[in-house]
Structure 1
């Protein structure tokens, strides 16, 4: 079992998270957070300005077919999402961040891609004034080879394996520290450090300095691709998409598993990177509340909002609730 995070007695925890949401009772709460079955626009409108350190979320994608968890049409997606984004920009702190996981989509009946997510990106930056701190990507090799018409039948396209994860902020200087998400050095890097390398200049003009100095930093700086090599403390305790307590319990009691979960390592990376212990994380499209569970495990306060009660009720399993 993972050791629970211990915080100072005056930290506030669940009550502090609850106090930020006026006039609403959570479906359930823990020592650090609250889960609300509600319209996230309504919830966010009740949260004071500059109260949240990180909004991490994955809203329903604009697919060319409808999903049971609800998704806006591509033609209307930007207009649908901007009201949520305005509230997000208002409630995050000046040094806070907004991380958005959004998948791509094919044009219905055609072997070409929609650009709806890029239209959203432009609107968030040019209309709402978000700063694009960095574009990141989630490498997901388990994605299905779809659309079958183009990928597995006619064989004229290859399958998708990445999704966009855009990191936005209110200012150009959001809180961030990549030393908290360093990767272990590769065997080649360790061998090179032991052997030593002379200072040299690559043809590109990049200066390579003594590798002993470089390796003293404690790990390699991670790339902007989140994949199976991304370090994860939580995965050691089974907090992932295939064998976590949520999935096992749903199967045991015959509850439908949320069909669009992301792995714990995705929010874990950004929560570690962009927040400190005790900070507040909000997920306005919580689904099965992976973000809340990861936040709890990492000692962050959290608020989760999901409008479909069945999904949120089942998310209690992540916290060992019946």
Structure 2
């Protein structure tokens, strides 16, 4: 009997719709849920076993190339690009032609000097020029929980200011990936609602731009979000930190005496891109899953998902994101 990898693509995706673990037929999941499966081990090995064009979105945040070593592992800046490209080649292969690869990555300082490293920019260029990705858009995650580091330059000598954003690069396999910004519309501003209520059709900014504030425009359901990933509720901006101390995952980890993953991103970050770039039933993969935030969000949004992680303790704790 043929394996899933040997099946024609149309048959493969008909089967894959039932459960994503069919995309890794010879690999035993660490655990699985209704919509997804988590795998322990090197994601390069797992990705290599997946069929071409079988994934709609890869959303991930790998260990950054920081000056100081972190407990979750990170590669030096000198070796980072070469190291990551070994993953990127497999990511490119498994993506569907209209699929996207969203990479959250932070910058760092050069050792001994208050100057910034260019390692992440070198990686971005290599992903485009060597692997063949297209840079669909540069986005940013505003993270107010970032520490004022390096302390020597920020809090001791006071010659630099605190970082609060990280890059979120949206790559695509072709220039026209699947995307629909109507899925991530934000509430209109109070000013827009006020103008519409007054019946103002257009208003002109000092720059000369005309803004359509008609009721027809308001009926569109919301404003198009910016490339700074934020969450708006009742017109009040809620910034997205990664220091939640009271969520279910953190609370259950403490109760079970299991170590909490030290580098988590908020659920709203993958939620934004999963909604923007996928439909229900699509496949979302995170090759550096950590506490598997992306997988849990995909589960809630009824997307099929595959998570890959090297550290079994992190995957064990990630089960708490899926209840009992």
- TM score, norm. by length of structure 1: 0.90
**Deviation of residue 207 (structure 1)?**
3.6
Residue number among 87, 101, 119 corresponding to 1:84 in the alignment: 87
Residue 229 of structure 1 aligns to a residue whose secondary structure is strand
Aligned residue in 1 for 2:230:
227
Structure 2 CA distance for aligned equivalents of residues 282 and 17 of structure 1:
10
Aligned residue in 1 for 2:114:
111
**Deviation of residue 242 (structure 1)?**
3.3
Residue 50 of structure 2 aligns to a residue whose secondary structure is coil
Aligned residue in 2 for 1:286:
289
Q: Is the 8 A contact 2:203 2:213 kept in 1?
A: no
Instruction: List gaps (5 residues or longer) in structure 2.
Output: 1-12
In the alignment of these two chains, the number of paired residues is 306
Aligned residue in 1 for 2:169:
166
**Deviation of residue 201 (structure 1)?**
5.7
**Deviation of residue 96 (structure 1)?**
0.7
Q: Is the 8 A contact 1:18 1:33 kept in 2?
A: yes
What CA RMSD, in Å, does the superposition of the two structures yield over aligned residues?
A: 2.1
Is 1:182 the counterpart of 2:197? The answer is no
Aligned residue in 2 for 1:217:
220
Aligned residue in 2 for 1:21:
24
Per-residue CA distance 1:95-140 (angstroms, 9 max, x = gap): 1100000000111111111010000000011111101110000000
Q: Is the 8 A contact 2:145 2:243 kept in 1?
A: no
Residue number among 146, 151, 163 corresponding to 2:149 in the alignment: 146
Residue number among 242, 245, 251 corresponding to 1:242 in the alignment: 245
Structure 1 CA distance for aligned equivalents of residues 108 and 217 of structure 2:
41
Q: 1:228 to 1:181 in 2, by over 3 A?
A: closer
**Deviation of residue 198 (structure 1)?**
4.7
Q: Is the 8 A contact 1:241 1:262 kept in 2?
A: no
Is 1:100 the counterpart of 2:103? The answer is yes
Q: 1:69 to 1:210 in 2, by over 3 A?
A: closer
Q: Is the 8 A contact 2:140 2:229 kept in 1?
A: yes
